[in-house]
Amino acid sequence: MVDEVIETKDGLKLRKLVELKTSTAEEYQNAMIDRVEYFKEKNQKKSQFNSTIQNAVVQAMSTILDVKIQVDKTLGEENLKKVHEFLDGVLLFGL
C-alpha cells in the first residue's frame, strides 16, 4: 500500500491513501494470525506448567462429557426424565 504524507497549515501530518490493493485485507488477516501464533508459542514456552494443567482440565472435562453422553444414551429418554426429576428434588431439598 502506498501512502502520501500531506502536511496541513497547522503542521498536522495526514497520510493520504494513494493505492489500495484487493489483497490488503487478506495480508492484514495473515499478519494478525501470524502474530497470534507467535504469542501463543511464546506463552507456551514461558509457562509449560499452566499449559499442562489446562490440557489436563480440558481432557478431564471432555472425558466427563463423553461419559455423561453415554449414560444418557443407555438410560433412554423415560429413565433420563426420572433421573432429572430425582436430581431436581435433591437439589431443591438441599436449598
> Residue 14 and residue 19: Cα distance in Å, rounded?
15
| 79-86 contact pairs (CB < 8 A, 24+) | none
C-alpha cell at 52: 499442562
Radius of gyration of the chain (CA): 28
Q: What is the DSSP string of 12-59?
A: -EEEEE----TTHHHHHHHHHHHHHHHHHHHHHHH-HHHHHHHHHHHH
pLDDT tens for residues 30-66? 888 889 888 888 877 777 676 778 888 888 998 988 8
C-alpha cell at 16: 493520504
pLDDT tens for residues 62-87? 898 888 888 888 888 888 888 888 88
